């Protein structure tokens, strides 16, 4: 594949992933509007935002099998139709239950927007190019999250949040056409031998690297997405005392920082690999900084502003190296299932952290704690879970996986 053709494939998937990430994070900006219009509490907001991740996570195992057997182009094009229907349903919803159901459908529909390109890259690109493409796909996602902050805040008075979701339904249709036009056709569908059980997932979840990364993927990686896509906004308004407009600006700069961080990872990883620095050592050294910054934010309370949360999110991006590490630990014909299984772990964590923080805040407020204190206690429990996950990671039996994502690995 020529460099120009590879860039075309990347851009087709990146255009789609942009809108997937925007849909993921937009609830953080729209939370004040939802709270006013529908009278939602913290637990309701956590459920609404987490519904996306519930649908997303529920699709990961069947998605992985479909990606390996049918190919990424077929699968993502079909699933984007469901995302379009979900956006339209969200635009006309009149109750919390209808909004939650629509968010679940949106999550199902965009579940392939990262796994499909990563599966495609595993088949078409070299190991070094995969790491760069992975980081730059996440950079594109950060662009979508940036667009979900101030640009959405500016559009709200013009089109309203319902009009915004109608527009997103149409743009997802355009993205589907771009995928069909630019991405190479998939090979004929692969079928398992008649009567033979598919034990791929059993082999994947027993893999030592998968087991070692799973706790951190669930807590820290999932928690980073949960905070970035929802709880950073309410923290800024309810703990730091910022206005909704100021909070939207803060979210804008958090996501802008993430954008440049992923771009930097894409440029640095090939150089680090040439020096023998793999993904596992980088996570071993990088996660403690993330834990330190998260603990500091809990202690700072109302003094932890957008800058503090931006620094924590940036430090947590080291966990993004876990996805290509898992993908390269398996043969190409298992890449879709391996990536989707690990993505299930991550987004299961997103759902649990998003809803869990909301439930904890509501329960603590009901017991008489002030809302800022309740937020700090809830985030303190989240910090503790991340510490325990890191201890499990560093104490895992040493197996020959530390050179995953190193030069020369197929």
Summarised one tens digit per residue, pLDDT across range 313-364 is: 999 999 998 988 888 888 878 888 898 899 889 988 988 998 899 999 999 9
Helix segments in 127-207, DSSP class H: 127-147, 150-182, 200-205
CA distances from 385 to 32, 63, 319 (A): 28, 28, 16
pLDDT of residue 212: 93
Ranges of residues in the chain whose predicted pLDDT is under 70: 1, 189-198, 398-410
Cα separation, 382 vs 378, in Å, equals 6
Cβ neighbors of 38 (< 8 A, separation 6 or more) are: 44, 95, 96, 99
Query: CA 256, CA 320: separation in Å to the nearest integer?
Result: 17
3-state secondary structure of 13: helix
Q: Using CB atoms within 10 A of its CB, is residue 161 exposed (0-12), middle (13-18) or buried (19+)? A: middle
**Confidence at residue 88, expressed as pLDDT on a 0 to 100 scale:** 97
What is the model's pLDDT at position 19?
95
What topology is assigned to 3-184+200-395 in CATH? Growth Hormone; Chain: A; (1.20.1250)
Query: What pLDDT is attached to residue 191?
Result: 54
**CA angle at residue 195 from 190 to 201, to 5 degrees?**
65
- Which phi-psi region, left, alpha or beta, contains residue 187 (left: φ > 0; alpha: ψ -120 to 50)? beta
Residue found under tokens 């629509």: 102
Give the C-alpha separation, 108 to 81, whole Å: 10
CA-to-CA distance for 267 and 132, rounded, in angstroms?
7
Pull the structure tokens for residue 33. Answer: 């509007």
Provide the 3-class DSSP secondary structure of residue 191.
Answer: coil
Per-residue pLDDT tens digits for 230-280: 899 899 999 999 998 898 889 889 989 988 999 898 888 878 877 888 888
The two tokens of residue 340 are: 């989707």
Count Cα neighbours of 85 within 13 Å in the Cβ-side half-sphere.
Answer: 10
Q: Which residue is listed with tokens 């679940």?
A: 104
Per DSSP, helices labelled H in 275-334 are 279-300, 306-316, 322-328
Please report which helix (H) or strand (E) contains residue 79, including its range.
helix 72-92
Rg, Å, the chain Cα set: 20
Report d(CA 156, CA 134) in Å as an integer.
32
Whether the CA torsion 247, 252, 258, 261 is positive or negative: it is: negative
Cα four-point dihedral sign 106, 107, 112, 118: positive
Closest CA to 302 of 250, 233, 240, 247: 240
- Under a CB-based contact definition with an 8 Å cutoff, are residues 110 and 90 in contact? no
């Amino acid at each position: 594949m020529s460099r120009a053709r590879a860039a075309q494939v990347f851009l087709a998937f990146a255009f789609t992933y942009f809108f997937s990430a925007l849909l993921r994070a937009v609830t953080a900006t729209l939370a004040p509007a939802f709270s006013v219009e529908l009278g939602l509490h913290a637990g309701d907001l956590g459920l609404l935002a987490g519904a996306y991740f519930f649908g997303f996570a529920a699709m990961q195992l069947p998605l992985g099998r479909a990606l390996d057997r049918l190919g990424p182009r077929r699968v993502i094009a079909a699933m984007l139709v469901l995302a379009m229907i979900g956006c339209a349903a969200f635009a006309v919803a009149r109750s919390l239950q209808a909004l939650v159901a629509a968010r679940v459908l949106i999550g199902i529909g965009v579940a392939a927007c990262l796994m499909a390109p990563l599966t495609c890259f595993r088949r078409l690109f070299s190991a070094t190019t995969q790491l760069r493409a992975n980081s730059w796909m996440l950079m594109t996602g950060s662009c979508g999250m940036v667009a979900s902050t101030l640009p959405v805040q500016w559009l709200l008075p013009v089109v309203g949040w319902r009009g915004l979701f109608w527009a997103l339904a149409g743009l997802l249709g355009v993205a589907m056409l771009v995928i069909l036009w630019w991405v190479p056709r998939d090979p004929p569908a692969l079928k398992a031998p008649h009567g033979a059980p598919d034990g791929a997932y059993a082999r994947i979840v027993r893999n030592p690297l998968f087991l070692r990364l799973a706790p951190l993927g669930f807590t820290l990686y999932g928690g980073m997405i949960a905070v970035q896509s929802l709880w950073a906004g309410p923290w800024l308004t309810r703990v730091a005392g910022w206005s909704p407009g100021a909070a939207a600006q803060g979210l804008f700069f958090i996501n802008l920082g993430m954008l440049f961080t992923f771009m930097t990872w894409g440029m640095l990883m090939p150089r680090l690999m040439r020096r023998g620095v793999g993904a596992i050592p980088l996570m071993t050294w990088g996660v403690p900084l993330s834990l330190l910054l998260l603990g500091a934010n809990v202690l700072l309370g109302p003094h932890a502003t957008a800058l503090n949360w931006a620094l924590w999110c940036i430090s947590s991006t080291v966990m993004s190296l876990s996805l290509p590490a898992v993908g390269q630990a398996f043969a190409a014909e298992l890449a879709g299932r391996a990536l989707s299984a690990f993505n299930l772990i991550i987004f299961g964590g997103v759902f649990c952290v998003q809803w869990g923080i909301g439930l904890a805040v509501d329960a603590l407020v009901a017991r008489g704690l002030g809302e800022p204190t309740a937020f700090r206690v809830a985030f303190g429990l989240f910090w503790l879970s991340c510490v325990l996950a890191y201890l499990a990671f560093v104490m895992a039996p040493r197996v020959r996986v530390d050179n995953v994502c190193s030069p020369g690995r197929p």
